[in-house]
Structure 1
Amino acid sequence: MAEVLLYHHIQGLTDGVRAFADDLRRDGHTVHAPDLFDGRTFGSIEEGFAFAREAGFDAIRERGAAAAAALGPDLVYAGLSFGVTIAQRLAQTRPGARGALLMLSCIPVSEFGGTWPEGVPVQIHGKEGDEFFDEDLPAARELVGSTNDAELFVYPGDEHLFVDSSLEAYDPEASALLLERVKAFLAAV
């Protein structure tokens, strides 16, 4: 079983993110889901971004890195949207990564050192009509083209935080398929 460090999206560690983590735990995985917003959750992406701007994006990302430092190196780094900025950086730069799950976002590999690390498998998930993921799709395709250990899954629809069962954007069908693919990935690492 895998040990997963899951970083929440910009609306915080919502009940839907907790449910996602619990679903992976029921499969036997150890899942750490640190609360980078100190218990705050937000009703919209805009409210979450306003909080993050005020708190400082770098300070929040450093909290995420500190959560990783408290754990061993053999982790699968997973991020949901904003959380990908932390998960991807750690997967690319912290030795010992077992894999990366980049859900709802993908950052250009050049942001964190230029190349994807050899032997670190990665899955990228997003919706084809999601305005946020559309911006990241070129980076996702570039990452997939740079390694034999990458998969890109694009789902129909335009909801951004579609895996969070506590939000209006939740898409049960796409979320179930994403979760099935994530579980297969974790079983293989």
Structure 2
Amino acid sequence: MTEVVLFHHAQGLTPGVTAFADELRGDRFTVHTPDLYDGRTFDTLEAGLAYAEQIGVEDILDRGTRAVADSPAELVCIGFSLGVLPAQKLAQTRPGARGAVFVHSCVPSSMFGTWPSQVPVRIHAMEEDRLFTTEGDADAARALVDEAPDAELYLYPGDQHLFADSSLPSYDAEAAALLLDRTRTFLRSR
């Protein structure tokens, strides 16, 4: 069965992130949810981003790498927003990566080299999410779809950033259910 690592967003390892992982575990996938914040969670995205800035991107990437050090190489890497950073780094640089799912965010593949042709990637965001559309994520996602041989970008109606986290006010049940269904289908193919 497919082994997965799911990295949380800037508000931390919230109950909604854990619930998403539990849905995948219910389908018999092994899902690891490393806590990049050592137990801290934040009530707002702004507070979580401030903490992430305090830690620094390099430390977040290092924490993500260390979190999977003892895991099998054949992982599917999933990231929610900020968690896309370690997920994308691992998908691009870790030998044996089986796939990647980026939710709410995407960074240019050039940040970690070039996209490995054997690693499929799926990117999910809301079409009017201002963080996705105005901060370069949408452009990076489209470029990755053009670059990677097996890549798809899914845009959902709406404007919420963290729409897949059931513990946050931004949660969109319909979009999250479709994301979950598409992710299950993708994981079954891995």
TM-score by length of 1: 0.97
Provide the aligned C-alpha RMSD in A.
0.9
> How many residues in Structure 1 have an aligned counterpart in Structure 2?
188
Question: Secondary structure of the equivalent of 1:69?
Answer: coil
Look up the SS of the partner of 2:152 in the other structure: strand
The offset of 1:45, in angstroms, is: 0.8
Residue segments in structure 1 that go unaligned for 5+ positions in a row: none
Residue 56 of structure 1 deviates from its aligned partner by: 2.6
Give the corresponding residue for 1:161: 162
Q: CA deviation at 1:148?
A: 2.5
Give the TM-score taking structure 2 as reference length: 0.96
8 Å CA contact 2:60, 2:86 repeated in 1: no
Q: Distance in 1 between matches of 2:69 and 2:98?
A: 15
List runs of 5+ in structure 2 lacking aligned partners. none
Whole-angstrom distance in 2 between the partners of 1:56 and 1:141: 26
Deviation digits for residues 3-58 of structure 1 (CA, Å, limit 9, x no counterpart): 00110000000000000000000001000000111111101111001111222332
Deviation at 1:138, TM superposition (A): 1.0
1:15 partner amino acid: P
Deviation at 1:147, TM superposition (A): 2.4
Q: Counterparts of 2:124 and 2:46 in 1: how far apart (Å)?
A: 22
Q: What letter is aligned with 1:106?
A: C
Q: Percent identity at matched positions? A: 57
Q: Tell me the secondary structure at the aligned position of residue 11 of structure 1.
A: coil
Match of 2:141 in 1: 140
Aligned to 2:105: 105
The residue aligned with 1:182 is 183
Cα shift readout 1:116-154 (whole Å, capped 9, x = no counterpart): 101111100001110111131111111111122111100
| Residue in structure 2 matched with residue 6 of structure 1 by the alignment | 6
